[in-house]
């Protein structure tokens, strides 16, 4: 049963009962790479890893001050509480700050799996990341994230900043993650030079112009209040979702002078659901007597409800962590979203008509069709009317048809195909009358998903193809009917994973079979395409990766192999363009070209 009971499911089954045979190794899977290719360099140095992304406007600024908030080594931290340290705003540059940036630096050496991590300030998540898998000679990386939208928390003294990174260190897994995190505070902007850069590069005269309406609200300023929808923090402030029936709820009372509210959602997938987009249904697993726990089909949707009513959902971007599919793909260029996992904004302003009653309301998060495990939490961002203790509000449109989903199965023994088509479309509207005027917010959201998983050659050849198209449109109209604010976000997530597995039996010296060894040949193609409209400005992003290679695997350890990744990152807005193209071969950069020319980034 769905975690949201309005879902409608159409199911078509075409099954042929046969005697099952031995299954091939599950793919895709998670690996680590204890082997090291011999280097011609007699003194190999620590290598920098990175994720392709756009530079921040603040990268061309000098911070007025910086504050170290985390300086810690995460060794054998499994089942331990998160690292915690006190936080107060820096005394040498008091607020307000036009920009605040989180500067994350990490290094590690040895053998280790990738690990998920997050940072919270006063229980509100501000950053989610995953680690790269280290080498004997060491790796390091750096991530910067603009956290200006969390200014209302950053202003407060005597808070706690916490970080969760559960790691295992023993005789086999030796990699310790050394983490250093600083907050960089900017008091002034610089005047852009004569070169035309896109808005992601050049700071504008209005400090907040480059941040979207959904992030900064009608008045394009950071929110006045943030309330986390998170756990008590004993194992990090995220909620752990073990199944679709695992619903996490927090009671919240909305301030009576709220004029706009946006829920920021964080979600990531792990364990048996790390490759949810490739999971076969349980019928395939049972009929073939397979031992894998990765099942329940290849559809997942993160839901948010208030008092049991649907208010928004997200089919999240399929981030591939650095130990996933083939870890040789992700060195030194990691997969899209690895170092800075995306969050997702849901505009809840249309519902203020029934939320501003002074009562507590149940904010719930769940994941449809989930298996163990997902990590989810959220932040509520409030914009308040400081001229009155209470505003008037009314919800006028609530149109949320049920999810339409079709599933088709056709398989004989280990070969067959599984298809899923799903779509959802909803629209909500409501008005708020405040001292600034009477404004109506209309929010529409829709997505379409198609997913096909195919098995050939006794299950040893697997093709996964998924396409997700999503659109969220938030419009704000004045009482006169004039459009005074609009944010449109359109995203596409195409993903293809092709894996061929060839068993390589290994016989021990006494004739006993040792741990299974096999050859795995894999191709991965995935992309993030995004178009944003913020008022009169617009931007487009096309971020695409193509990876191919092979590896010889024993258990979950890579014995030998080869991998390459080509990636092109294109960003364009009305101010200019940014493009970077890289090619990584055998863990080294073969091509790395950056340009600000719009002609080359078309």
User: pLDDT tens digit string along 114-140?
Assistant: 999 999 999 999 999 999 999 999 999
pLDDT value at residue 510 = 45
In this structure, of 148-162, 179-193, 287-301, 534-548, the range with the lowest mean pLDDT score is: 179-193
Ordered by start, the domain boundaries in the chain are 8-35+44-595
CA–CA distances in Å: residue 13 to residues 2, 284, 410, 419:
19, 11, 7, 11
Assign 349 to helix, strand or coil. helix
pLDDT greater than 80 at residue 367: yes
* 287 backbone dihedrals φ, ψ, rounded to 5°: -70, -20
Q: Give pTM, 2 decimals.
A: 0.92
* Angle at 445 (CA atoms; ends 440, 451), nearest 5 degrees: 175
Q: What is the mean pLDDT of residues 13-22?
A: 34
Higher pLDDT, 22 or 130: 130
State both tokens at 585. 């071969």
pLDDT value at residue 536 = 83
Nearest-angstrom CA–CA distance, 377 and 149: 17
Nearest-angstrom CA–CA distance, 435 and 222: 19
Query: pLDDT tens across 451-489, in order?
Result: 999 999 999 999 999 999 999 999 999 999 999 999 999
Query: pLDDT tens across 46-60, in order?
Result: 999 999 998 888 888
Question: Chain-centre distance of CA 475, in angstroms?
Answer: 25
Q: What is the mean pLDDT of residues 184-192?
A: 71
pLDDT greater than 60 at residue 38: no
* 342 backbone dihedrals φ, ψ, rounded to 5°: -75, 155
DSSP state of 351: G
pLDDT value at residue 600 = 52
């Amino acid at each position: 049963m769905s975690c949201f009971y309005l879902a409608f499911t159409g199911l078509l089954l075409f099954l042929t009962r046969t005697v099952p045979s031995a299954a091939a190794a599950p793919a895709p899977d998670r690996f680590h790479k204890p082997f090291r290719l011999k280097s011609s360099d007699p003194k190999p140095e620590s290598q920098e890893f990175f994720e392709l992304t756009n530079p921040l406007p603040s990268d061309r600024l000098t911070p007025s001050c910086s504050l170290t908030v985390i300086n810690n080594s995460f060794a054998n931290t499994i089942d331990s509480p998160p690292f915690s340290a006190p936080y107060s705003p820096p005394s040498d540059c008091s607020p307000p700050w036009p920009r605040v940036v989180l500067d994350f630096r990490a290094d590690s050496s040895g053998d280790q799996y990738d690990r998920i991590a997050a940072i919270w300030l006063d229980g509100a998540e501000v950053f989610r990341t995953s680690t790269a898998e280290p080498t004997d000679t060491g790796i390091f990386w750096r991530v910067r994230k603009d956290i200006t939208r969390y200014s209302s928390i950053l202003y407060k003294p005597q808070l706690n900043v916490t970080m969760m990174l559960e790691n295992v260190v023993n005789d086999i897994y030796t990699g310790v993650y050394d983490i250093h995190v600083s907050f960089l505070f900017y008091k002034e902007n610089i005047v852009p030079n004569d070169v035309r850069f896109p808005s992601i590069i050049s700071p504008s005269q209005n400090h907040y112009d480059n941040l979207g309406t959904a992030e900064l609200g009608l008045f394009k300023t950071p929110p006045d209040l943030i309330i986390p929808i998170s756990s008590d923090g004993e194992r990090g402030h995220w909620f752990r979702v073990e199944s679709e029936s695992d619903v996490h709820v927090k009671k919240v009372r909305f301030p009576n002078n709220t004029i706009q509210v946006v829920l920021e959602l964080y979600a990531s997938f792990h364990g048996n659901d790390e490759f949810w987009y490739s999971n076969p249904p349980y019928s395939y697993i049972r009929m073939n007597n397979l031992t894998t726990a990765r099942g329940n089909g290849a559809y997942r949707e993160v839901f948010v409800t208030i008092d049991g009513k649907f208010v928004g959902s997200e089919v999240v971007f399929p981030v591939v962590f650095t130990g996933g599919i083939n870890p040789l793909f992700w060195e030194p260029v990691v997969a899209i979203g690895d170092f800075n996992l995306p969050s997702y904004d849901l505009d809840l302003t249309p519902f203020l008509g029934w939320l501003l009653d002074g009562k507590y309301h149940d904010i719930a998060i769940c994941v449809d069709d989930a298996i163990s495990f997902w990590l989810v939490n959220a932040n509520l961002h409030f914009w308040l009317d400081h001229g009155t203790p209470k505003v008037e509000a009314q919800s006028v449109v609530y149109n949320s048809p049920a999810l339409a989903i079709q599933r088709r199965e056709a398989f004989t023994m280990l070969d067959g195909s599984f298809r899923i088509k799903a779509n959802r479309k909803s629209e909500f509207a409501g008005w708020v009358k405040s001292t600034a005027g009477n404004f109506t917010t209309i929010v529409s959201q829709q997505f379409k998903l198609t997913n096909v998983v195919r098995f050939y050659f006794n299950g040893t050849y697997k093709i996964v193809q998924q396409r997700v198209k999503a659109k969220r449109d938030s419009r704000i109209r004045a009482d006169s009917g004039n459009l005074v604010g609009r944010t449109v976000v359109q995203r596409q997530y195409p993903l293809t994973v092709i894996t061929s597995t060839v068993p390589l039996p290994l016989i021990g010296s006494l004739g006993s079979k040792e741990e299974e060894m096999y050859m795995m040949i894999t191709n991965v193609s995935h992309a993030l395409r995004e178009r944003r409209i913020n008022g009169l400005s617009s931007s487009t992003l096309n971020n695409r990766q193509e990876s191919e290679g092979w590896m010889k695997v024993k258990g979950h350890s890579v014995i030998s192999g080869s991998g390459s990744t080509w990636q092109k990152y294109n960003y364009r807005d009305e101010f200019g363009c940014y493009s970077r193209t890289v090619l990584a071969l055998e863990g080294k950069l073969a091509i790395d070209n950056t340009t600000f020319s719009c002609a080359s980034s078309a």
